[in-house]
A and B are shown apart, each in its own frame.
Chain A
Amino acid sequence: MVFAGAHDGAFDRRDERGDHCVDTVGNDDRLVSKLIFALVFIAALFIAFASAPVHSVTYVPTYAVLWIAFLVPFGLARRAVFWRCGTIAAALLALALIGVPSYLSATAMTSAREASSPPIFHPGWQLLSPAYWRDLIASFPVCSGDLQLMCPWARIGWLDMAILAGAIILVLTGPAAKRRYGLVVIVLLAAIHFYALLSVQEVLGRLHVKHAVSDVGVLSARSPGGNRGRGRRRGLGTRPRCKLDLDAGAGDVAVGDCRTARVDPHDPAVSAASARARAVRAPSDCARAGNQGSDRRLSAAGNRVAARGRFRGHASTFFGAPDGLAGSLLSGMYGANGQSVMTPLVDYCWGPWRLIAELRWSESSRDRICPRLQWRNQRR
């Protein structure tokens, strides 16, 4: 049973079958419960986005679709649907305001793809051609061990088929809630297969963000992507890693030094020590590495990262960037001329949550609370 809209100051409740009953709960209680639900919903959404075990893109869309499907019971009163849709809209608006679209864009930009990684809808008009889709489907590796699709020769394929059959049965025979659940499962299965189909030729270009974050990294070229990532990067081999200098003030990352050495990805201490040693060496030219096979993707044409060039930050540095929402708000509060005490904090400690906690810290303690600034000073 789910809560519906108000009716004459009482709590109007109606279940999925249309049964109707009235509780004598006041308006205040109703408002409080709605507010609590909205807050919990937004908090859960943010936590799922910010704390996904591997990457938010992997998990959040699936659960978000499921959540929305159950959050909007279309059989209920109009007002109930309205406020629930309002909650979803408010949550999406909040995510947009704190920069999630730019976060995804930055993640896609730093995604490790070939230099010839196609832009979105790179086939252009061919997408309107049935022959293109026919060829794409003909080359669709349904039974690839990495994709886990409905392959008749794999156990996971049989599981998918059983799930599809169960979902169809639910849609055809179940009550409203189960019907909706079955529909969501079918849609998700179809979406997974369609995404895999588009991945055959990377039709969506940089929007194929699987393992995007780990690719421009100190990890081995082969290890972070896993089997699926390896399959996509077949033939890339060992790649040099580039030194990306973080300019905290500008929110940019400058490409400096490229290496081909590997660092053990499983030991942070070893990695850190190795990184420190590497960071002080004389920089080489990233453009030279750009000609060394796989790292051509770091060229300007590939990922908007050029030798000695700059690009607009990484996903992890976007939230609260100086020109982001939090930075703009705080700059406005403390003066736009950049001379206020808070501006350096906005510049160097641009995590919005840390900013809130550190508003009362003095400028002298900045070095202690901002490792970025310390590192930048050491560089100078």
Chain B
Amino acid sequence: MTVSPATAMVSRPAIAGISRAVLTYVLPGLVMLYVILSALWLVPDGFAGMYGNHDGHWASWSVRGILEWSRFLDFSPFSPLVGTGSLFAPNLPWLSPGALALAMPAPLAVRHLVSMLIYLSELSVSLYLLYRHLEFSREQSFLATMLYLCISSPPFGE
């Protein structure tokens, strides 16, 4: 079977475009995702781990407490903890996908991981759109987003 010259001329740019997209976006993105995901899973309860350290513990506990003791979109959740002076923060985890992930029926570590990845996705998309709004090219925006994730996420940010 022979390929006509016209077909070859059409397919070459398409293949080049796909290869360029794969090498520019997909491959680096997957490598970055793998490294960050592994780091989130492996890093112990450090300052930059999954819901790590004191603030992270409190944030996770607070959201899970609200989800357990309140109803949908309840801004003033009530629990027996109130009797001890433990007042829930006025937070609506139902409006935050990252927080809502903590309600999944899964082990706590998995919930934390999914939640962190959602926050990571939100951050990445926001940054990419911001850079695009600032009229950076797609490649520059993607690279800048990756750099920011390198700085802010484990293991690089640890």
Contact = CB atoms under 8 A, between A and B. Distances in A.
A51 interface: yes
A252 to B, nearest CB: 13
B125 to A, nearest CB: 14
A354 B78 CA distance: 13
Contact of A51 (B55, B83, B99): B99
Contacts of A271: 65, 81, 86
Nearest to B79: A272
A315 interface: yes
B154 interface: no
B75 interface: yes
Interface in B85-118: 85-96, 98-99
A159 to B, nearest CB: 6
Given A159-B151, A316-B87, A268 B65 contact: yes
A106 to B, nearest CB: 9
Given A47-B96, A177-B135, A268-B64, A219 B86 contact: yes
Nearest to A216: B85
A312 interface: no
B147 to A, nearest CB: 11
A266 interface: yes
B15 interface: no
Contacts of A230: 54
A217 B82 CA distance: 9
A228 to B, nearest CB: 8
Counting chain A CB atoms within 10 Å of each CB, the highest count among B53, B69, B71 belongs to B71
Contacts of B94: 51
A242 to B, nearest CB: 5
A375 B80 CA distance: 8
Contacts of B23: none
A244 B61 contact: no
Instruction: Summarize B's interface: helix, strand, loop or mixed.
Output: helix
Contacts of B47: 227
Given A50-B92, A54-B55, A279-B80, A70 B87 contact: no
Counting chain A CB atoms within 10 Å of each CB, the highest count among B77, B89, B90, B99 belongs to B90
Contacts of A318: 76, 90
Counting chain A CB atoms within 10 Å of each CB, the highest count among B60, B64, B65, B83 belongs to B83
Contacts of A320: 75-76
A164 interface: no
Contacts, number: 160
A316 to B, nearest CB: 4
B12 interface: no
A34 to B, nearest CB: 19
A285 to B, nearest CB: 15
Interface residues of A, number: 64
Interface in A309-360: 314-320, 350-354
Contact of B84 (A177, A275, A354): A275
Interface in A270-311: 271-272, 274-276, 278-279
Counting chain A CB atoms within 10 Å of each CB, the highest count among B81, B87, B88 belongs to B87
A230 B53 CA distance: 12
A375 B78 contact: yes
Contacts of A81: none
A232 interface: no
A276 to B, nearest CB: 5
B84 A279 contact: yes
Interface string A250-265: 0000000001000101
Nearest to A178: B134
Nearest to B82: A246
B58 interface: yes
15 contacts: A51-B99, A53-B99, A70-B133, A213-B89, A216-B87, A219-B58, A224-B55, A225-B54, A229-B54, A263-B84, A275-B84, A317-B87, A319-B76, A319-B90, A375-B78
9 pairs of A and B residues whose beta carbons are closest in the complex: A218-B86, A279-B83, A51-B96, A226-B55, A316-B90, A51-B95, A226-B54, A213-B89, A224-B58
Given A227-B47, A266-B57, 9 more contacts: A53-B119, A110-B87, A223-B54, A229-B54, A230-B54, A246-B78, A274-B84, A316-B75, A352-B75
Interface of B: 47, 53-55, 57-62, 64-65, 68-69, 71, 73-96, 98-99, 119, 130, 133-135, 151
